[in-house]
Amino acid sequence: MSKIAILTGGGDCPGLNPVIRAVVRKGINEGYQIIGIKNGWKGLMENDIMPLNLDTVSGILPKGGTILGTSRTNPYKKEGGIEKIRDNYAKLGLDALIAVGGEDTLGVAAKLIKDGITNIVGVPKTIDNDLSCTDYTFGFDTAINIAMECIDRLHTTAESHHRIIVVEVMGRHAGWIAVEAGIAGGADIILIPELPIDIEQVCSLIRKRHARGKTFSIVVVAEGAQFKEGTMVTKEQKLDEFGHVRLGGIGEILAQEIEKRTGFETRVSVLGHIQRGGSPTAFDRILGTRFGVKAVELVKNKKFGRMVALSGTKIIDIPIEKAIEVLKTVDMELYDIAKEFFG
């Protein structure tokens, strides 16, 4: 019986379990044996696996996170990592591997394919929605719905206390969460990594609102946003195995600056991992399910080196390396729409 393995790597997000379930259900329907690799590339290096069958995936559709676990392990940064992957892939008798991840996990997948080590099909995931060649990644819709609800809640307290509330959302290089949650939540200003923050302009928009009688404002800022003259605000300088720093703190700095310059009382709320947790929305469950089914079809048709993607309303497939070439940053036409509501 042909064997397919599936792994989930990088930051978790809602919608991973629907993909796993769909791969298992469709795989079994097509006569494959499916196994799960635990904790991303780390599990393939360590031969850490779990059986996947109708029982193990029963009931996981509404569950956030990933039943396989995940890690940010980069086998190209580990001594002997690639040899271990080659050996375990052969030892497990795999015919194909479905790698579910963002730019880092899929970047490793693209290298492994180039090095002739594994047959891989990719599935794009990230709450940041910054992978190219797919209109959406699953996890994003859930994240923006959570952030929107938080912004709604912050509105009521900001209004009662006549305060400015700065809401820091995730988004390392791209401000998709900030823009879409900000539009949906009626933010008064949205700041994103793609555009440097002009603090004077932010303060003058807030003053303008106050001048027309609004005594509160909601400012949404993506964690990767930077001041005109500055660099990204980080929690620590240490780089992970993919060269990323841990971001966080721009909201606090921004809030202090706004209060100092405008004299209006300002608070900050950092949404953090709340945006990545919990049950996926219907959109993410459906997208994950469609991606999982399509991934097995690609394996069946031996279309290795391809990634499933959403184009309009259709699920298509594209070369994995195309998706990781450049990050998909915020569409400025969408940002212009958000700007109509600033101030």
Q: Which residues are catalytic?
A: 128
Give the shortest CB-168-to-ligand F6P separation in angstroms.
11
What is the Cα gyration radius of the chain? Answer: 21
Residue closer to ligand F6P by CB (options 9, 36) is 9
* Tokens, residue 110: 């693209």
In Å, the largest CA–CA distance within the chain is 72
Residue closer to ligand F6P by CB (options 33, 71) is 71
Q: E strands within the chain?
A: 3-8, 33-37, 49-52, 96-101, 120-124, 164-169, 189-191, 217-222, 234-236, 246-247, 266-270, 306-311, 314-319
Contact 247, 223 (CB under 8 A): yes
Listed residue (53, 5, 49) closest to 29, CA to CA = 53
DSSP state of 75: G
Give the shortest CB-272-to-ligand F6P separation in angstroms.
8
Please enumerate in sequence order all residues whose Cβ is within 8 A of that of 29, keeping only pairs 6 or more positions apart, or say none.
none
Contact 59, 84 (CB under 8 A): no
Strand partners, 166: 219, 268
Q: Measure Cα distances from 163 to 30, 259, 265 in Å.
A: 58, 10, 5
Give the shortest CB-172-to-ligand F6P separation in angstroms.
4
Residue closer to ligand F6P by CB (options 164, 170) is 170
Residue closer to ligand F6P by CB (options 208, 246) is 246
Binding site for ligand F6P (CB under 6 A): 11, 102, 126-128, 170-172, 223, 246-247, 276
Residue closer to ligand F6P by CB (options 106, 170) is 170
Residue closer to ligand F6P by CB (options 11, 292) is 11
Give the shortest CB-227-to-ligand F6P separation in angstroms.
18
Give the shortest CB-271-to-ligand F6P separation in angstroms.
11
End-to-end CA distance of the chain: 62
Q: CA 164 to CA 259: how far, in whole Å? A: 8
In the three-class reduction of DSSP (H, G, I as helix; E, B as strand; rest coil), residue 198 is classed as: coil
Contact 170, 126 (CB under 8 A): no
Q: Which residue is nearest to ligand F6P (CB)?
A: 170
Q: CA 293 to CA 281: how far, in whole Å? A: 18
Give the shortest CB-158-to-ligand F6P separation in angstroms.
24
